Structure 1
């Protein structure tokens, strides 16, 4: 079983089939834009320098050249971090991970809030959080991902 370290606490990573289905739908929509751009998606470790914390995002997009070398990446080396909430960890995805990904420079953080049935895209990270927030958009409303993706995510099946 995978684990994360969130604010110093070791937390098991567990996901329902409904959660996995949502992440799979996202992966399918992103796939056509990835390989031609030299990118890949996965759920590898993200390390937060200067802390003991280590996250396992539900989905992250990174340059393929970084993924093949193994080991944890830092959020600033990603292009997109996605968290789809589970009822047991929704507050962590909504607050702690979102705040820490901004602090450590993830350019985009997509929160797929399955309990609230809405998606929010956070961008332009800074030391005090995200300076741009697009959403929340109810499921069924497309969510526009900026460069390098330039695509509208279909959220109707989430």
Structure 2
């Protein structure tokens, strides 16, 4: 069998564009991480200040993660049936789901955290909040660095989250309900 070179005039028609797009971004060469938000590919390049906020949360929930047998990270979240593939700033998931997983679903998380950036604040405030609720992420914590507030969304439904706690100014403790049952110190965000 011979291999034919790809022609400039040849066309590629994917039977399933969603699968093709999600496959392609998982195979980007180099260290770049990308996500898809409503069909638009976004390169991720968080600042140190941005990463600091996610790290402060990770440090505070560390003992609880061990108690719950969970892991926290910024692994891929697939939203099947849509052109969305998210890389949250932090997601908490049961440990038994992470081994060998290329992506998880929002309803497999216990908590999703997004930290806003100047370039994508509205994506986190509006689009991701709606999509996380639609895909049943039980808790969504928005750390809004531009507004200097934190908001916890819970009780996901078809029309969005039905419980909203906040926005609270940085420095106000944020109570994470069961299974976490802890207060986050937001004073250093």
TM over 0.5: yes
For residues 68 and 9 of structure 1, what CA distance do their matches in structure 2 show?
A: 28
Which whole-Å CA distance do the structure 1 matches of 2:67 and 2:112 have between them? 19
Q: What is the deviation of 1:52?
A: 2.5
Q: How many residues align?
A: 158
Indicate whether 1:14 and 2:45 are aligned: yes
- Structure showing greater radius of gyration is 2
> Alignment partner of 2:163: what SS?
strand
Higher relative contact order (CA 8 A, sep 6+): 1
The 5 A counterparts of 1:139-154 are 139-154=170-185
Pick aligned residue for 2:72 from 27, 41, 48: 41
Q: How far is the alpha carbon of 1:69 from its aligned partner? A: 2.8
Report how far residue 36 of structure 1 moved: 2.0
CA distance in 2 between partners of 1:120 and 1:50 (Å): 28
Flag structure 2 segments of 5+ consecutive residues without an equivalent.
1-31
Aligned to 2:81: 50
The separation in 2 between residues aligned to 1:141 and 1:101, in whole angstroms, is 24
CA–CA separation in structure 2 for the residues paired with 1:37 and 1:153: 17
User: TM-score normalized by structure 2?
Assistant: 0.82
RMSD: 0.6
Normalising by structure 1, what TM-score? 0.98
Report the Cα distance in structure 2 between the residues aligned to 1:92 and 1:6, rounded to whole angstroms.
8
Q: Secondary structure at the match of 2:127?
A: helix
Which residue of structure 2 aligns with residue 93 of structure 1? Answer: 124
**Who is 2:160 aligned against?**
129
CA distance in 1, matches of 2:87, 2:94: 17
* Greater shift in the superposed pair: 68-77 or 148-157: 68-77
User: How far off is 1:53 after superposition?
Assistant: 1.1
- Distance (Å, rounded) in 2 between the aligned partners of 1:117 and 1:156: 10
C-alpha displacement of 1:67: 1.0
The structure 1 segments of at least 4 consecutive aligned residues displaced by more than 2 Å after TM superposition are: none
